[in-house]
Structure 1
Amino acid sequence: MRILVADDHKLVRDGLRPFLRELDSEAEIIDAASLEEAVAAIEGAPRPDLVLLDLMMPGMTGLDGLTRIKTLAPGIPVVIVSGYSSRDHVQAAVQAGAAGFIPKTVGGNAMVNALRLVLSGETYLPSSSFFETTGSAPAAVRQTGAPPPFDRLSRREGEILAQLIEGRTNKEIAQALNLQEITIKVHLRNVYRKIGAANRAQAVRIALQSGWDIPPIAPSLPRPVG
């Protein structure tokens, strides 16, 4: 797999590398610091299989850069990775052909899950984007605090599902929440039943596509010594 990371900040490009290796340990990751460098990489051979594109690079004017890249390579999924994730930004990007929109505020594991969703042919939209512009949530969310079927989840179940989206194992979730691992398994069975998921991967996909406002992730507790 060849992945093009187009962002004018080297720190961002370098920081994404270890997470992109989780998609494919042998992935070739190509850097671009401007729109022209990104275009040159796409026009070269072989072409990338996935493009991560920052909207604020040199050469970018709004979504013109995205449109140019999609015109050159309409079959390559382009995911916007941006510090700006208002509802208008997200909707405009998707209408212009983006296969997803990932805010730079998300965790690395959540980003990997979002990219896996895109590579499977789906479109990823951040849940927070629907609330930033209007200042209020849709009616179903205002009434219950979460869109159906996530309104059926208990607070603990929501916390555990959020940990799952971050890519944590049952053991890691148990440690972070100071619970027994068997308790995590019981909660996850309830989560799957309530949201209509058959397994972990399906639960993550449903959550990422739902518009559910993912709760804050609890930090892991220190591991015992000795």
Structure 2
Amino acid sequence: MNSAAGGYRASMVERRLSTPPVLAAVLEQRGRDEAAFPGDGCLLVLDGRALDRECLAKALISRGLDKEVFAVGSVDEWKREKDSHPPVEAILFNIGGRRANEATLAAEMARLSSEFRSVPIVVLSDSDDLPHVLQMLEHGARGFIPSSVGVAVCIEALSLAMAGGIFVPASTVQAMRHLVSDPAGGAGPRPMSGMFTPRQEEVVEALRKGKANKIIAYELSLKESTVKVHIRNIMKKLKATNRTEVAYKLNDLFKGTGTQSPA
């Protein structure tokens, strides 16, 4: 780790060479250069939270990302330290749970696009609801990764973006397909249409029946921690502070649709 600049890289395997002293010196210098600038460029991890960005950078390296990872809290910090690192090849912009001010996020994405121009930007977020994903893509993101996925998926998404592709989570594709295949809501109005992802709708139905997190996880083949993430996102969308308030607001959503709340 380069503690001054927030750069991280995998350690190189030491090589023993039986070569003349002059050639050995040349190879040693080349090895130092390769160690400092592995690959064609670096991955810039942008996150205002120091612990989050440092842990994320180390996780990416430990899982096999063959590039230097330069973790910073802001574009200004990158400008101060950029001469110590190879050119930026991709940006992982971790916004966490920041959804309160979409205008601020849009301005930050605009600045990133202006500063780095052709460099692909991949957004990492705690939310995976369809409107949020589409908004980030409209602002220039070349990929969107929900924090519910693992590091391996994150690396694949970054590789796809660097290769010219665009990564979106499966939940987003399912939500879009659902809207396209059933735009009228089937036989009757669907109060959750467009508000929740298909997976979140399943969790909502379970919550309306008063099921515990462990039961929901078992029935939907999910980890209990993933169920908790879905519930937090559902609470944010409903502006609810607890499960009781969630159930109350869900019942309000279903009033007048012919769908009765279970006893």
TM-score scaled by length of structure 1 = 0.51
**Would you say 1:137 and 2:174 are equivalent positions?**
no
**Would you say 1:8 and 2:51 are equivalent positions?**
no
Aligned to 2:166: 123
Cα distance, 1:129 vs. partner?
Answer: 3.1
Cα distance, 1:51 vs. partner?
Answer: 0.5
Task: Say how many residue pairs are matched.
Answer: 142
Amino acid at match of 1:121: G
Cα distance, 1:97 vs. partner?
Answer: 0.9
CA distance in 2, matches of 1:47, 1:116: 16
Identical positions, percent: 23
The 1:42/1:123 distance shift into structure 2, 3 A limit, reads farther
Aligned to 2:60: 20
Unmatched runs of 5 consecutive residues or more in structure 1: 144-214, 218-226
The higher relative CO (CA closer than 8 Å, separation ≥ 6) is in 1
CA distance in 1, matches of 2:50, 2:133: 24
Aligned to 2:142: 99
Cα distance, 1:37 vs. partner?
Answer: 2.8
CA distance in 1, matches of 2:108, 2:181: 36
3-state secondary structure, aligned to 2:55: helix
* Contact 1:39 1:69 survives alignment (8 Å): no
Cα distance, 1:30 vs. partner?
Answer: 1.1
* Contact 1:82 1:102 survives alignment (8 Å): yes
Cα distance, 1:216 vs. partner?
Answer: 4.8
Structure showing greater radius of gyration is 2
Unmatched runs of 5 consecutive residues or more in structure 2: 1-40, 187-220, 224-263
Aligned to 1:108: 151
Aligned to 1:82: 125
Cα distance, 1:119 vs. partner?
Answer: 1.7
**Would you say 1:32 and 2:75 are equivalent positions?**
no
* Contact 1:87 1:131 survives alignment (8 Å): no
Aligned to 1:53: 93
The 1:62/1:17 distance shift into structure 2, 3 A limit, reads closer
TM-score scaled by length of structure 2 = 0.45
